[in-house]
Amino acid sequence: MVPDGGSAGGVPDWGTIPRMLRDQAARHPGVTVIADGDTRLTLAGLRDRAALIARGLMALGVERGDRVAIWGLNDVHWAAGAYGIWDAGAVIVPLSSRYKGIEAAEVLRATGARVLIMGDNLDGAPPFAEVLALAAGAHVPAPPHGRAYGGPDDGDDADGGRPYAGLPELRHAIVPEGLPHPGALQPSAVLSAAARVSERAAEERALGLRPEDLCEIMSTSGTTGTPKGVMLDHGQVVRGYWDWAEIVTLAEGDRYPVIAPFAHGFGLNAGLVAGVMRGATLIPVRTFTPGGFRELVQEGRITILAGAPTLFHRLLDEVDLTGHSVRVAICGAAAVPAELIHRLLREAGLERVINAYGLMEGTVVSMTRAGDPVEVIASSTGRPVPGIEVRVVGDDGRDVPAGERGEILQRGYGVMRGYWGEPDKTAEVIEDGWLHTGDIGTLDGDGNLAVVDRKKELFIVNGFNVSPAEVEGLLLHRRDLAQAAVVGVPDERSGEAGRAFVVPRPGAAPDPAEIIGWARGNMSNYKVPRRVFVVDALPVNANGKVDKARLRAEAAERDRGNGSSPSKTGEDPPPGAG
């Protein structure tokens, strides 16, 4: 089957991720698709492990369409768990490894996840199970006279209780083997429970999925500014990332380190899904370190590399490229310096450099192509991928002339199914099939799309979208704060950085440095405001809304050293990429 507007290679008639995995495993069973340290997993091995995990989840009572969350670092267990969730007919809810307990609990509540699979945290960091317990309460055993929280399909938990008091819909938490945690299961118990479900029943579940069935709910700051759950189905993920891989030329024999977290749309779909559908060897990167990156390149073990322009600057400036094997660079930035592209093609000898634009709500939107001039790759994100239409419109909703700025609209198979549980928010951004991306761009005469600004107030720290509304909400968990307003300002080290203006509650005297310390412990580090200013009141405009433009100007003035006081401001060290 080749859908209308399909790629030159045609999209295989898979329709769903489980069918894709089975077809690939049947055709190329011995191809290694995961290389995680000393662990190797072939296509056949991934298929078999996913099927066993699916049977275990079904034994726990997971039904088709249930949400199953996964929280961990990039590794072989995350990869197998994801395919097991899909085999069970469930919808994956990835949790960022950077999440703190409050953030994870909010996503679990919002999606009504029934099962949470947890992997290892960073060395020296507390287990995810403990992090969540601080925000969602301790294990709740079942009453002595009945399984009040469970049922006949609730699995092997000892007492049928809830793993976390504050998450009543979460029936099971699975922790790494050997990690005791009250109310949680270990993988061995889940796999033992798989014996209660026949292979035939599991296969019928996997093959019974349809392309229109949901496969993932991805958390995003979204075009509306506050965290949302973006719903994507099997058909659009399979089609979108087949075409993405076609343009990138990802193929069997490629060695592809996945630096982006599996919990991110790129790491999951352009990494874990695209790699398996093309038979490439994926190398999960738990945490990015310059030393580990240099080792990968210098040992000649990678052929495809995806990342921000800073990654490729580092490749050229810090790595001995003698005998390197990298052939394709995927930049994924609004703009890529032309000099960098020239160096990658000429100095490093790469075959091609690809730039692309996508968003959670719209999957893959546009990509540059082989043969595009350097100037096009540097100044644009290329042309729409097959099956996707793009418009750039003014405030009146009409298309603007070529070269003029306007909001980017997208239509086609890649547009999300909507925001989970929020039809009103969905209707705000999808109109007559067109997704209002909230990004500002231009189209040239050849249809190349350049992304030049953001319509909403989101700002980007080290490549991660930060929603001011989300950070403000997290800050207001503190009892000493009455109001909070967050803005992003330009920063030469991280692209942009946050500034928080906070109003104390009556009688409170919050310390800015202590607020930053609290934020580091309760939110992902890229969300932590770099500086905090304690103020008596927030400025408002004529409509009574906080005047963010005025706050940005005030933040810039304070950054220049005017009007700041050590007793009234705090400063956080620049955040890292993680």
Q: Return d(Cα 318, Cα 259) in angstroms, integer.
A: 18
8 Å CB contact between 297 and 315: yes
Residue 544's pLDDT band (boundaries 50, 70, 90)? Answer: low
Structure tokens at 387: 């099956």
Q: What is the mean pLDDT of residues 529-555?
A: 87
Residue 560's pLDDT band (boundaries 50, 70, 90)? Answer: confident
Q: Which residue has the tokens 């097959």?
A: 386
Q: Which DSSP letter does residue 154 get?
A: S
Give yes or no for residue 575 having a pLDDT over 70: no
Per-residue pLDDT, 225: 56
Q: Spell 293-310 as b/e; 16+ CB within 10 A means b.
A: beebbeeeebbbbbbbbe
Per-residue pLDDT, 456: 73
8 Å CB contact between 53 and 202: no
Neighbours of 14 (CB within 10 A): 21
Q: What is the mean pLDDT of residues 10-38?
A: 96
8 Å CB contact between 361 and 429: yes
- Work out the end-to-end distance of the chain between its first and last CA atoms, rounded to an integer number of angstroms: 41
* Torsion, Cα of 216, 218, 223, 224 (10° steps): 100
Residues in Cβ contact with 55 at an 8 Å cutoff, skipping those fewer than 6 apart: 194, 195, 197, 199, 201, 202
Q: Which domains occur in the chain, in start order?
A: 42-209 (3.40.50.12780), 459-571 (3.30.300.30)
Phi, psi (rounded to 5 degrees) for 309 = -55, -30
CA atoms within 13 A on the CB side of 356: 28
Q: Which of residues 55 and 151 earns the better pLDDT score?
A: 55
Q: Per-residue pLDDT tens for 258-285? A: 999 999 999 999 999 999 999 999 999 9
Structure tokens at 223: 């075009």
Phi, psi (rounded to 5 degrees) for 10 = 75, 145
Q: Per-residue pLDDT tens for 316-372? A: 888 888 888 999 999 877 677 788 899 999 989 999 999 999 999 999 999 999 889
Per-residue pLDDT, 284: 96
Give yes or no for residue 574 having a pLDDT over 50: no
Q: Per-residue pLDDT tens for 61-105? A: 999 999 999 999 999 999 999 999 999 999 999 999 999 999 999
Give yes or no for residue 157 having a pLDDT over 50: no
Q: Return d(Cα 321, Cα 335) in angstroms, integer.
A: 25
Q: Return d(Cα 275, Cα 298) in angstroms, integer.
A: 22
Residue 160's pLDDT band (boundaries 50, 70, 90)? Answer: low
8 Å CB contact between 489 and 519: no
Q: Report angle CA 498, 426, 382 to the nearest 5 degrees.
A: 70
Structure tokens at 337: 């310096």
Q: Which of residues 143 and 58 earns the better pLDDT score?
A: 58
Q: Which DSSP letter does residue 269 get?
A: I
Give yes or no for residue 1 having a pLDDT over 50: no
Give yes or no for residue 490 having a pLDDT over 50: yes
Q: Per-residue pLDDT tens for 176-209? A: 999 989 999 999 999 999 999 999 999 999 999 9
Beta bridge partners of 503: 483
Strand order in the sheet with 39-42: 39-42, 32-36, 281-284, 255-258
Q: Return d(Cα 180, Cα 188) in angstroms, integer.
A: 13
Per-residue pLDDT, 543: 54
Lowest mean pLDDT among 32-41, 140-149, 216-225, 545-554: 140-149
Per-residue pLDDT, 147: 47
Q: Return d(Cα 68, Cα 216) in angstroms, integer.
A: 9
Composition of the chain by helix, strand, coil, percent to 5: 30, 25, 45
Q: Which residue has the tokens 């055993």?
A: 141
Phi, psi (rounded to 5 degrees) for 131 = -60, -45
Return the percentage of the chain with pLDDT > 90, whole number: 71
Per-residue pLDDT, 317: 82
- Provide the sign of the torsion angle of the four alpha carbons 146, 149, 152, 154, taken in this order: negative
8 Å CB contact between 487 and 457: yes
Give yes or no for residue 2 having a pLDDT over 70: no
Residues found in the chain: 578
- Give me the numbers of helices (H) and strands (E) for the chain, helices first please: 18, 28
What pTM, to 2 d.p., does this model score? Answer: 0.84
Q: Return d(Cα 556, Cα 535) in angstroms, integer.
A: 16
Q: Return d(Cα 292, Cα 496) in angstroms, integer.
A: 26
